[in-house]
Chains A and B, each alone.
Chain A
Amino acid sequence: MSEAGPVELDDVQGLVRFAYKHLTEASFLLLRVNDAAAARAWLAQAPITTAAKVDPLPQTALQVAFTSAGLGALEVAAELRQGFALEFVAGMASDAARARRLGDVGANDARYWQWGAGERVPHVAVLLYATAGRLTAWQEEIETQCAAGFVRIACLPTSDLQGVEPFGFVDGISQPDVDWERKRPVRDQDQLDYSNSSCLGEFLLGYPNEYGLYTPRPLIDPRRDRGALLPRAEDDPDQSDLGRNGCYLVLRQLRQDVAGFWREIDRQAAGDADLRERLAAAMVGRKKNGDALEVLGGGPGDGGAGTASSARLDSKPNSQLNAFTYQADPHGQRCPLGAHIRRANPRNADLPPGEPGVLSRLWRTLGFDAAALDEDLVASTRFHRLLRRGRKYGAVASSTLSATTPNADVGLYFICLAANITRQFEFVQSAWLMGSKFAGLTGESDPLLGHRRPGPGGSPSDAFSIPQADAPDRRLSGLPQFVTVVGGAYFFLPGIRALRYLATAR
């Protein structure tokens, strides 16, 4: 293993490091290759924005990612493609088993998708970002450049909702703190405290991950890289590393039934305006303004109603928004166990909490601490983190929140970056969000994302329970589906050198 050198930021696509929040306009082009030579010619010199900092900030940005089908269409050799993760090679809509795991069943079934299945699997995603007013020209410029090689199957326009997702909640608050400096020690050791910091290798291929290991990726014989474009693999210097500085990108188009969501909350709240806000906040785990229920204290029943417009996210101290765990709230009396943000990121360590000392640790490791076991149903969050880069789409009229307007086509382009799709995205999606037994709950899945279909024995999954300090859980039942998957694919977001290699190698 060679020394832990600095990250070649100018070899990394910028999206890994930046969310490009200042580039408030964006659109995502989903393309299929129709002329491989022309497509490769464009990719060989496409003006990709990198993760290196520039001053002044860029006015536009371009990112390019490939599906496995896309690599095939670009005539990348099969043995190179086989070096990628199995789930990437298979694709998001590959089979019924994956659909069951991801909850892509019923109304989420890929056969209803607008894109991402069958002939509508994109080959390449071109992600375009620009400052206000510049996107149209930027998109025209790029589309002109790549017109010869590709046909467009979809253009996903985004809208700037000022950091608020269509249901009305401030979004995108929790993000892992990526170790770009490579300061985290490379070793395999239990972490007894939750940390928001993640090894670079959890997100970028070619670097050690939280296990202190390099995630498998395509390594190739340097003789196949005649231009010596690619870096050598840190863990295997005799091989060129096609994965280095790249990562997987998961894109899912999630349509949100905003009117339906608030209509259901209104039904459950039976006209109590205060309760309405509290129920919605309990489902999310945050108030609309982003304040975490866990931090606010009291029960979800005690917090006042917040509105997104009344508080600017930037002015909030981080402690109120993201620097917390659920350790002091094992029964979910502040933030329900099944709240969306608690399912998506349970914020726990490798061992359940207990007394300090070797004996207590051994006792907990052997499972003899009954109290610790009760809190050990979900563990080791650090192996299941996602770097989120989503954008919203559609226009949400403020009147929508009154649940009377018909449902417009609005939602979220969920985008996350990860080095291991299975252990990160698919795990969080299936075990934590869709899981009907998450943290010992039963009869419910994610209050926002659940598909609500019953189990094989007929058990419902459409409930949501809100633990209360002085009574049995408040239980909402019969929730309808609020979010529908209407498209999705797994992409590889290569490093710049890897991109040039893919565009030129035969």
Chain B
Amino acid sequence: MTPQSQFVLLAPVAPGRERGLRELLLRMNSAPGMADPANAVLPFGQFERLHFARLAVLDDPTLGDIEAHGIPRPNVPVYLAFAGSCDGSADECLAELARRADTGLRLIFTHCDGFDGQGDLLAWMRARQCPIAANYINWVGRTVRQVKEESALRRALAAQVPRVPLASAADAQRRWQELVDFVNLEVSAGRLALTTPDPTPLAWQTAKLVHLIAIPIVGLVALPLLLVLSPLLILVLRMKEDNDPEICPRLDPAALLELQQLEDHDVTNQYTALGSVKPGLFRRWLVSGLLVLINYTCRHIFTCGFLARVQTIHFAFWAFVDDKRRMVFTSNYDGGHEAYMDDFINKVAWGLNLVFSNGIGWPRTRWLIARGARIENKFKYYQRRHQLPTQVWYKAYPDLALIDLKHNHRIREGLELARMTDGQALAWLQLL
């Protein structure tokens, strides 16, 4: 099994170069915000291990919000973010990108501070890589190649399966066997491919196991102290929750439209948001701890198709920026933005509150998980206001949603079984 990784690098845009950068990014697209997979600058489609990628200029219009906490607006750069989700390690992916898209990447990064167009591109990119605080992967082990092969498999089978009612219950097994034979024939003729997964890298397995054990141990060690402090911590939390300012003004229609113009070209959409963490050590430690916890659950629990009740997020991550004063969140999700946000409110408002209520201006929460995102309009204004246009976004498998990927994989699993009961065979046929 090949595990997936994500990377993000942030490079400050050089003074006076932002406009040129934006023009360059525009040229990489075939529709607003949608990367042309074969664009001359960075032909994403040539990178077979790349699931998603994005380039976004992070110019945060909400920087001044911190003034509501009595702190002056910080002087931070506008960053260019380059993020991706890939099969295998992020480092290998970056190396491949640097090797095969050297000219294009250099062209992009000449718009950034500290890049002279010469020198070691890979080393320069690595130096700007930003650690990911919490990493979500919908299905650990599912590669781009697998997605494409299983999609072709389903198409072939759906065209082949007889759709007339079964003659008898046992007929299901016969039809299944016929389709198994059909696929084997197609595979040997080279019309279908079903590549066997690579062995799981030992280093990855070891690191995962260590993480699985180490985090609870650290937690256990810290637990007594946390328990002793908990009355005080809860008191501080509740006081802060009741007093922190809410900043959820009505949206600027032009800014909203700018975001919407980049959406709904495919069944999947992108989301990039940036915000400032509330000032003070309490929030800084709280959000750091919670992201460790979320990262832990994403690495060990939510690894096969769902993040709590949400089944429509392909990849997402949280990363701290500017010494944890700011946080960036990105995701790739199925469906329209409104449906995504309604899912959040109706299914996992508690989960959003856990993390994002540590951001400046979040709708008022209680006990860290209640209210907050349930305050529908304030939440919707807030999240749109913090969203930034993703100038270039790439997805390796247009038209395919996670539900398709799950479905297609079930079909393949059924194909690879040695035997089936009548009921299993019928259920499998009904997947087609």
Contact = CB atoms under 8 A, between A and B. Distances in A.
Interface of A: 82, 86, 89-90, 95-98, 100-101, 188, 211, 213, 215-216, 331, 350, 364-367, 373, 376-377, 379-380, 383-384, 422-423, 426-427, 430-431, 435-437, 440, 442, 455-459, 467-468, 470-475
B48 interface: no
B418 interface: no
A455 B404 contact: no
A83 to B, nearest CB: 8
A457 B398 contact: yes
20 contacts: A96-B261, A216-B250, A365-B309, A367-B302, A377-B403, A384-B342, A427-B342, A430-B338, A430-B339, A436-B267, A437-B335, A437-B404, A455-B267, A459-B399, A468-B165, A468-B430, A471-B429, A473-B432, A475-B158, A475-B163
Nearest to B31: A456
Interface stretch (B75-83, B184-192, B204-212, B373-381): B373-381
Interface residues of B, number: 55
Contact of A367 (B264, B309, B336, B407): B309
Nearest to A427: B338
A176 B250 CA distance: 29
Given A96-B261, A456-B398, A101 B336 contact: yes
A380 B334 contact: no
B377 A435 contact: no
Contact of A365 (B264, B305, B308, B334): B308
B87 interface: no
Contact of A97 (B263, B307, B339, B346): B263
Contacts of A86: 250-251, 253, 256
B128 interface: no
B403 A366 contact: no
B329 interface: no
B218 interface: no
A472 B399 contact: no
A211 B376 contact: yes
A457 B31 CA distance: 13
Given A365-B309, A442-B404, A471-B165, A456 B265 contact: yes
Interface in B147-185: 158, 161-166
B397 interface: yes
A473 B163 contact: yes
Contact of A188 (B267, B334, B374): B374
The 3 tightest CB contacts between A and B, nearest first, are A457-B398, A457-B399, A97-B260
B346 A350 contact: yes
B347 interface: yes
Contacts of A350: 346
A331 B427 CA distance: 11
A467 B165 CA distance: 11
B335 A456 contact: no
B311 interface: yes
A343 to B, nearest CB: 13
A474 B250 CA distance: 48
A373 B402 CA distance: 13
Looking at A97, A100, A475, the one whose CB has the most chain B CB atoms below 10 A away is: A97
Contact of B342 (A188, A376, A380, A475): A380
Nearest to B384: A86
Given A100-B265, A373-B305, 12 more contacts: A86-B251, A98-B260, A101-B336, A101-B338, A350-B346, A376-B311, A377-B403, A437-B404, A442-B407, A456-B31, A456-B399, A471-B164
Contacts of A98: 260
A437 B267 CA distance: 8
B426 interface: yes
Given A437-B403, A456-B398, A457-B397, A373 B311 contact: yes
Interface string B94-128: 00000000000000000000000000000000000
A182 to B, nearest CB: 20
A235 to B, nearest CB: 12
B334 A437 contact: yes
Nearest to A426: B338
Contacts of B14: none
Contact of A455 (B161, B266, B338, B432): B266
A302 B404 CA distance: 29
Interface in B241-291: 250-251, 253, 256-257, 260-261, 263-267
A427 B339 contact: yes
Contacts of B253: 86, 89-90
Nearest to B404: A442
B302 A458 contact: no
A440 B375 contact: no
B401 interface: yes
Interface string B5-26: 0000000000000000000000
A455 B399 contact: yes
Contact of A376 (B264, B309, B377): B309
A287 B263 CA distance: 37
A429 to B, nearest CB: 10
B90 interface: no
A471 B431 CA distance: 10
Contacts of A211: 374-376
Interface string B339-365: 100110011000000000000000000
A97 B258 CA distance: 10
Contact of B401 (A384, A437, A474): A437
